[in-house]
Amino acid sequence: MASHALGGPRPGNRNVLLKIVILGDGGVGKSCLMNRYVNNQFNDNSFHTIGVEFLNKDVKINDETYTMQIWDTAGQERFKSLRTPFYRGTDICMLTFAVDDRTSFKNLTMWKNEFLHYANIKDASTFPFIVVASKADIGADKRVVTESEIKCWCEVNDNIPYIETSSKDAINVETAFALGVDSWKRLEEAFDKTNNYVADTVNLSRLAQRNSSKCCSN
Ligand SMILES: Nc1nc2c(ncn2[C@@H]2O[C@H](COP(=O)(O)OP(=O)(O)OP(=O)(O)O)[C@@H](O)[C@H]2O)c(=O)[nH]1
């Protein structure tokens, strides 16, 4: 949760800082996604990430300015203990798989659960996840995960928003991050509303208690 949600009104002239974590199997294109988004570059021979790396980018989305702090994590199993300590305090989680890699799609559930566990999030339905299908530029002959099965997985998982991207051809990369921010904003507003509602309920019940104790003392 961003600091303004905990500490009162959003400061007028400062950017909202959003911590965004990109998760998914090794080789699905997480580093390339971050590099396309932040530096508008693509590397055909990107190396495996060891642990985590992060980059910042200031953006304006729907008239609001944000500092996007993007954490690219190592997808390989052997780096699990190096990446999981960085999950806490995340505002948006991008669950990534490559459309030419069925195992990476099957592992989305594992990634989601790993994140929920180490970020200590109790209710997945209130957290802004985004599913990012990467390498959408590859030919139809190489594609092994269909759009309908991705949509189905998202539906079963609290209707997580989903987008197909290509870092190589710069398709939908900015939109993917904007989608994450949209989802974060929607859930944050819902959270604020619920909390106000709970606060009102508490106040009303306190009032009722006070009134009823008055009645008792009469
Ligand atoms: N065709 C295509 N290849 C891509 C795309 N994005 C990444 N790749 C390639 O996929 C390979 C792996 O990309 P990375 O970004 O290093 O993958 P990663 O998910 O960060 O991998 P780990 O660091 O091991 O977790 C590289 O050879 C990239 O060039 C894409 O949009 N299209």
ipTM: 0.99
* Gyration radius (Cα) of the chain, Å: 20
pLDDT of residue 13: 57
Q: Is residue 73 in a domain?
A: yes
At 70, give phi and psi (nearest 5°).
-100, 125
31, 40, 42, 43: residue to mutate for ligand 1 pocket, most atoms within 8 A of CB? 31
129 token code pair? 């996840």
Q: Is residue 200 in a domain?
A: no
pLDDT of residue 208: 39
37, 44, 45, 46: residue to mutate for ligand 1 pocket, most atoms within 8 A of CB? 46
Residue minimizing CA distance to atom 7 of ligand 1: 29
Q: Which domain holds residue 162?
A: 15-187
What is the Å distance from ligand 1's center to 166 Cα? Answer: 10
User: Is residue 51 a contact partner of residue 79, using CB atoms and an 8 Å limit?
Assistant: yes
Q: Would you give per-residue pLDDT tens digits along the chain (218 residues)? A: 444 443 344 445 578 999 999 999 999 999 999 999 999 999 998 888 898 999 999 999 888 999 999 999 999 999 999 999 999 999 999 999 999 999 999 999 999 999 999 999 999 999 999 999 999 999 999 999 999 999 999 999 999 999 999 999 999 999 999 999 999 999 988 878 777 655 544 444 433 333 333 333 33
Q: How far apart are the first and last CA of the chain?
A: 47
Cβ neighbors of 47 (< 8 A, separation 6 or more) are 31
Output the CA–CA distances (angstroms, integers) from residue 133 to 48, 51, 97, 104, 170, in the order listed.
Answer: 19, 22, 5, 10, 13
pLDDT of residue 134: 98
Q: Is residue 147 in a domain?
A: yes
Give CA 184 to chain center in angstroms: 8
Q: Is residue 196 in a domain?
A: no
What is the Å distance from ligand 1's center to 75 Cα? Answer: 11
What is the Å distance from ligand 1's center to 51 Cα? Answer: 16
Q: Is 158 left (phi over 0), alpha (psi -120 to 50) or beta?
A: left
Residue 30 CB less than 6 A away from ligand 1: yes
Domain count, the chain: 1
pLDDT of residue 214: 36
What is the Å distance from ligand 1's center to 78 Cα? Answer: 18
Q: Is residue 216 in a domain?
A: no
Q: Is residue 6 in a domain?
A: no
**Domain containing residue 127: CATH number:** 3.40.50.300
Q: Is residue 60 in a domain?
A: yes
Euclidean distance between CA atoms 162 and 151, whole angstroms: 7
22, 28, 174: residue to mutate for ligand 1 pocket, most atoms within 8 A of CB? 28
pLDDT of residue 6: 39
Count each helix (H run) and each strand (E run) in the chain, helices first.
7, 6
Residue 134 CB less than 6 A away from ligand 1: yes
Q: Is residue 80 in a domain?
A: yes
